[in-house]
Amino acid sequence: MAWVGATAREIARAVRRGDASATEVVADHLDYIRSTDRHLGAFRALRGPRALAEAEAVDGLPELTNLPLAGVPVAVKENVAVAGERSGADWPHVADADHEVVRRLRGAGAIVVGTSRMPELGLWGTCDDKEIVTRNPWRLDRSPGGSSGGSAAAVSAGLVPIAHGNDGLGSIRIPAACCGLVGLKPGRGVVPAGIGANAWYGLAENGILATTVADAAVGFAVLAGRRTHKLTEPGRLRVAVSLHSPIPGVSPDADNRAAVSRAVRSLVGAGHSAIRAEVPYPKRLGAVVLATWTASSYLDSRDLDYSELQRRTRRHVALGEQAVRTAEVTSGQRTRWRGQALSWLGDYDLLVTPALAGAPLEAAEWSRRPWRANLVANMRYAPYSAPWNVAGLPAIVVPSGVRGDGLPAAVQLVGPPGSELMLLAVAGLLELAAPWRRHAPSWPRAPRSRS
């Protein structure tokens, strides 16, 4: 399993040069997934024979020079169409064509080795279903977060070097923070969405989870349909720092405050200025988020058997139906917050917040617990991500040290529209100043003997 644990850039470079074959790389990763994923539950389905056949097709191409992900194994979150696979554990349809982001990954030479698990309808910041509880490689008694929890667990354990995820209220950034990864949610309209019904009213975006900023940058470029470019160091930035939570009564614990302090010290040390400036979250923002979130679940569930849904999902869908019927979900509310956020952020180049308020939740059968228990737990530990989906602004989570309990700590960086490359460049500064562990402790478990 010589290529398990390598970065996407290392793999692609070797395949392009002929130092390795895509078939060899994919076979290594498939063997590793089969031998270790029973501890994590990261994958819904493996595409073993199909993935190997697709790797052989890449090896047979006459020219690999322009493939930035040549031979790179990737996981795709199960709510996005992969031709020949079911979208979602309980969803009735087998996709007859790839989603555009999957088509772009394949076009860059990546090999989809499988689909990754998520909670039902992708609703929660934990990851379990009626079959299995997905676990965090850092500590198996903790959740990898959600809803892109399977993708995050897979990358953190080295099952794949990068993975696709999507983010409607934090579903890339929360798992990235829980698993010690870089997780980028692009701004609105930068990457094709098309997730569920109306992409959660425009809140949901497709993005990338990776172990390094360089891999995240390549993955983002591919999803956005852009050429890959070397990140350039930004000029002197005016950085706003806010610990203020959008959820009243919730505040970050000491470990998450320390993560922000570490990141800010690194940025100031690199020549940037930092100003404490609390984000003016509107009082009604929580109500807007809740109405949009539940209404999205109602629209996504209309082709499903309601009686077969989890108890917490049925409650969520019922609230969403009410929100749709009473017209509680309006674009005007979201547009107002976007305008307010842009106006406030206009005084700064970048915002730094905690990624989480508390530790990753326990790995448990959250699907068996009441809706309110899920809601309260998610609000208390992960309040910082949702406002930026509503505003449609790009945001990235970057590791920033380790908590006292041994789990990773992280920060969130938010920028104005079109600032994805700037966010990645700043993340690169943080990585250079304080390099993080690329994988969870004791992972990958397979020996790495690449010459």
> Which residues are designated catalytic?
77, 147, 171
Distances in Å between the Cα of 81 and the Cα atoms of 99, 142, 241, 250, 371 are 5, 29, 38, 37, 28
Phi and psi torsions of 39, nearest 5°: -80, -20
Which candidate, 219, 285, 217, places its Cα nearest to that of 425? Answer: 217
Cα(133)–Cα(372) distance, integer angstroms: 20
The 3-state DSSP class for residue 207 equals strand
Residues forming a β-bridge with 376: none
Longest CA span, the chain = 63
Produce one character per residue of 356-382: b if its CB has 16 or more CB atoms within 10 Å, e if not.
bbbbbbebeebbeeebeebbebbbbbb
Cα(46)–Cα(37) distance, integer angstroms: 11
The 3-state DSSP class for residue 278 equals coil
Cα(110)–Cα(181) distance, integer angstroms: 20
